[in-house]
Chains A and B, each alone.
Chain A
Amino acid sequence: MALLQRVAEQGRPVVRFTLDGRPVEALEGDTILTAMLTNGDHLRRSEFADSPRAGFCLMGACQDCWVRTEEGDRLRACGTFIAEGMRLVSASEWTAADGEGQP
């Protein structure tokens, strides 16, 4: 279930991307953080604690919102805008790399 709730600015054009292989929609001008958290409840799993994370400061200070693409690129979700066709992964980066998905 979505973590973030849209309360305004909902008339923007739709952008399509995939989240853990699932086709989903965001809006133009969404950050990756907004795009992922309006379609799910976390961005990644901490590689040290295996707990889900969803960012914290939203202004590029905490670095808690780095996410992976299926290609293996790392993007800071609060400071990168969503683009059509992005393939993003929120499952554990270790298991996702094996193509196993979330445990």
Chain B
Amino acid sequence: MSRPLSPVIVGAGPAGIRAAEALVAAGLRPVLIDEAARGGGQIYRQPPDGGFSRPKTALYGTEAAKADAVHRALDRIRDRVDYRPRTLVWNCESGALDLLRDGVTDTVPYGPLILATGATDRVLPFPGWTLPGVFTLGGSQVALKFQGCAIGRRVAFLGTGPLLYLVACQYLKAGVEVAGVFDTTPQSAQARALPGMLRDPVTLAKGLALVGWLRLHGVPVHHGIRPIAVEGEGRVRALRVRHRADEIAVDCDAVAFGLGLRSETQLADLAGCAFRFDPMDRAWLPVRDAAGRTSVPGLCIAGDGGGIAGADAAELAGERAALAALEDAGLPVDAARAAWLDRRLARVAAFRRALNAAFPFPQDWAATIPDDLMLCRCEGVSAGILRGVGQRGEAREINRAKALTRVGMGRCQGRVCGAAAVELLAGALGVGPGEVGRLRAQPPIKPLPIAATPVQEATP
């Protein structure tokens, strides 16, 4: 009988590390593949090796203990996992992952597979969004945590979601001038969501403390705004927003922007997972059971890559997916622990619903995007071109629209423009965003150098 394949985990953030830890505890040696050089994912991203000296309390604030625990978990199991940092997974088909590391391609067959691919910022275009100095909220946080840099001297924070306030506070604490926080959510929506958020009073208190701290330091916090434009020639000079009948203009040299997060589902798609439209995330997501099992036998998804739930939930979901993988392989699992994880995850899901009500997606935004505004950053395709194929009845489905307009076909493969493209096409057709389908993933999901060498040729 052939030896069973090692379980493979993609992503070494909170979900992937906790999954690996649980598999190691069961006596297995998982393969842990991560695009970053050091573990932690985006939320607990560590500075590069050597020379960086800020303590974790400075990097992660109130979440320092959690970040440290996740980092230490990986350190503890490091010699018991086949850990492959700085490795891109660019395809996932027919029971094998295609990898790229340092210009060398490789394949890893998988039996049990846990995808912990995380999330990136969800964005919609607005005039000026391609100017140098406009970065995503996540990117603005990476600049600070990973490089000790701010995206500007005087930064405006635009969008919605917990990250909006968190990153603004992190910038303020780092000594950067915060020109203002411009939240698309009306204050009334946040007040209505308060009772639901009392399910997790600690997280709620932390969130309220962030807002209070910003106000205490004289940072203007505006609710219910919509962006008019980022102004500037070649770089950011000012942000203009609409607030009810008024216009607010603020001088700044950078804008951090995001509208919550979007799940990174491309590998799940290539692996053949069934998807369903999730009205809360306003996106097509892989179908999962409570433990993270997908429609593909042996394939589990843990963390934000399967639906946005945050870092705490990702840790729980990573461990839960590992227990599911063990159970499905006929190995013994601690049923009480699994049940405890299920209960905790159900609680997080309830809180997550309240959080979504506090930071809803601005559904009216897409309709106000001017036709001549660049939607596709990769290839410079305007919003009007995408709307046009819908209005003229040439495309009723997003992949057809992609074929006709190239939106979603550039280097980002729809990771940046996808959410906006769906909103624009649905708007042009007068239907909901769940009714125009989802962008299909294509390998390679990220650009590969044409000179990439297969591993057999690279190793003598």
Contacts and interface: CB of A to CB of B under 8 A. Distances in A.
Contacts of A29: 47-52, 147
27 contacts: A4-B143, A4-B147, A7-B144, A9-B52, A11-B53, A12-B51, A27-B51, A29-B47, A29-B51, A34-B147, A41-B133, A46-B377, A56-B377, A57-B121, A57-B136, A58-B140, A58-B146, A59-B120, A61-B416, A62-B377, A62-B412, A63-B410, A63-B411, A63-B412, A63-B446, A66-B447, A74-B449
Interface string B26-63: 00000000010000001000011111111000100000
B370 interface: no
Contact of B132 (A9, A12, A52): A52
Contacts of A81: 48
Given A3-B152, A58-B143, A59-B120, A41 B132 contact: yes
A85 to B, nearest CB: 19
Nearest to A64: B377
B51 A55 contact: no
B268 to A, nearest CB: 16
B313 interface: no
B235 interface: yes
Contact of B412 (A7, A28, A41, A61): A61
Contact of B415 (A11, A42, A46, A62): A62
Main secondary structure of the interface of B (DSSP, over half): loop
A59 B48 contact: no
B139 A59 contact: yes
B255 to A, nearest CB: 11
A6 interface: yes
A61 B174 CA distance: 26
Contacts of A41: 132-133, 234-235
Contacts of A99: none
A27 B47 CA distance: 13
A9 to B, nearest CB: 3
Given A5-B152, A27-B51, A46-B130, 6 more contacts: A3-B151, A6-B149, A9-B148, A29-B47, A29-B49, A56-B136
A93 interface: no
A38 interface: yes
Nearest to A43: B132
Interface string B224-240: 00000000001100000
A13 interface: yes
A78 B138 CA distance: 13
B121 A8 contact: no
Contact of B53 (A9, A46, A62, A64): A9
Given A51-B130, A52-B132, A63-B447, A38 B142 contact: no
Interface of A: 3-13, 27-31, 34, 38, 41-42, 46, 48-49, 51-64, 66, 74, 78-79, 81
Interface residues of B, number: 53
Interface string B365-409: 000000000100111100000000000000000000000000000
B163 interface: no
B183 interface: no
B380 A48 contact: yes
A66 B411 contact: yes
B176 interface: yes
A26 to B, nearest CB: 10
A74 B58 CA distance: 34
Contacts of A54: 132-133, 135
Residue picked from A27, A58, A74, A81, most chain B C-beta under 10 Å: A58
A13 B449 CA distance: 30
Contacts of B42: 59
B138 A58 contact: yes
A58 B374 contact: no
Interface string B261-299: 000100000000000000000000000000000000000
A61 B264 contact: yes
